Amino acid sequence: MLTYLAKRIVYMLPVALGVSLFCFLLVHIAPGDPLTSVLPPDASQQMQDELRKIYGFDRPLPVQFGLWLWKAVQGDLGTSIATGRPVAGEVWRAVGNTLMIAGLATVIGFVLGCFFGFVAGYFRGSFLDKFASMLAVLGVSVPHYWLGMVLVIVFSVQLGWLPPGGAGPGGSADWKWDWEHVSHMILPAVTMSVIPMGIISRTVRALVADILNQEFVPALRAKGLMDFGVFRHVVKNAAPTALAVMGLQLGYLLGGSILIETVFSWPGTGFLLGNAIFQRDLPLLQGTILVLAMFFVGLNVLVDIVQGLLDPRVRRR
């Protein structure tokens, strides 16, 4: 198990390096100078050159990458061109905000997805199965910004139960775990949870159906186990894959949904990314993508480890 763990972590390094190179280049491939958009149109050539020097855009790309990476490793992601504040702080705050709704969304999606998946898998072909499958397909295919708006109309405008957007009276900077703040999380998280709910429910349904068809299930019954005893075995067999899918879904959600965060004005990574793109704020864009990519890589390793803990067969690979 320890060698498996070490292997997973060592494999992670080249991936992380590749990802950072890729997101550095990606931003530089895009046409246009990042400075032109912030500078006034009548700025002198001398002023432009000076600013380029300050931001380091005058050096060759490999040097820029090396410097950027070296600083990034130390936690310095540069300074935002648009706001002049350190990127790292902005990104971390956004990641924290997104993590809150993404985490809640994943929990909702996982619980509901597993429930529907188990019901559908246990009663294949029945009315319950068709109902659960319909919900799952609906979840993956409904446009989320639309669903978000519908939820706002119903629960905020008409019923007035939940706030329509924002991160609470104090905003994200002054977050408290009280109802006034938490109530702002609910609608975005529910909207966000719909995709993982659908995917997890389809996965779990297929898993359960497959497990129930295996011969060890009658063998368990043959030794006298009743439904609950068999269910325990089904759960443990389904858990590694279901958790892996959940981990990946959390990874996707961490990238934040630009659309959902925009609909709900939630100050998360999607929101930040959108702003960075529209303002051509290069350091901010790079920093955000890098942090998100690292989260994704880290999550993958975590998923591998959990899978190895739960399924003895994985460890030997």
Partner 1 sequence: MNTPLVAMENVTVRFRGAQTVHAVNGVTLTLEPGKVLGILGESGSGKSVTLKTLLRLLPESRTDIGGSVMVDGRDVLALGPQELADYRGRVTSMIFQDPMLALDPVYTVGEQIAEAITRHEKISRREAMQRALELLQLVRIPSPERRLKAYPHEMSGGMRQRAMIALALAARPKLLLADEPTTALDATVQIQILLLLRQLQRDMGMGMLFVTHDIGVAVEVSDRLAVMYAGQIVETGTVRELISDPQHPYTKGLLAANLHGARKGERLEAIPGAPPALNEAPSSCSFAPRCRQAVEACQDGLPPVVTLGEGRIVRCVRTEAALQPA
The DSSP code for 171 is T
- According to the binding rule CB under 8 A, does residue 307 interact with partner 1? no
Q: Dig out the tokens for 261 from the structure.
A: 């965060």
In the complex, minimum distance from the CB of residue 230 to partner 1, in angstroms, rounded to a whole number: 10
Query: Could you tell me if residue 39 is left (phi over 0), alpha (psi between -120 and 50 degrees) or otherwise beta?
Result: beta
CB atoms within 10 A of CB 130: 13
Which among 164, 38, 167 is positioned nearest to 94, based on CA atoms? 167
Encoded one letter per residue, x for contact with partner 1 by CB under 8 A and - for no contact, window 108-147 reads ----------------------------------------
Nearer to partner 1, 7 or 221 (CB): 221
Binding segment for partner 1 (CB under 8 A), chosen from 80-88, 140-148, 172-180, 233-241, is 233-241
- C-alpha 306: how far from chain center: 18
Other Cβ atoms closer than 10 A to 54:
11
Site for partner 1 contains 229 (CB under 8 A): yes
Output 53 or 232, the one with its CB closest to partner 1.
232
Minimal distance, residue 309 CB to partner 1, in Å: 11
Interaction between residue 237 and partner 1 (CB under 8 A): yes
Please give the full DSSP string across 63-93, using - where no structure is assigned: HHHHHHHHHHHTT---B-TTT-SBHHHHHHH
DSSP string covering 252-302 = HHHT--HHHHHHTT--SHHHHHHHHHHTT-HHHHHHHHHHHHHHHHHHHHH
| Candidate segments 44-52, 83-91, 210-218, 251-259, binder of partner 1 by CB under 8 A | 210-218
- Identified binder of partner 1 from the candidate list 209, 233, 252, 299, rule CB under 8 A: 233
Minimum gap (Å) between residue 217 Cβ and partner 1: 9
Tell me how far, at minimum, the Cβ of 37 lies from partner 1, in Å.
55
Q: How far is the CB of 124 from partner 1 (least distance, A)?
A: 12
Question: How many whole angstroms separate alpha carbon 102 and alpha carbon 95?
Answer: 10
Query: Is 210 a binder of partner 1 (CB under 8 A)?
Result: no
Q: What minimum distance in Å lies between the beta carbon of 204 and partner 1? A: 16
Query: Can residue 59 be called a binding residue for partner 1 (CB under 8 A)?
Result: no
Q: Give the integer Cα–Cα distance in Å for 175 and 257.
A: 21
The answer to whether residue 176 forms part of the interface with partner 1 (CB under 8 A) is no
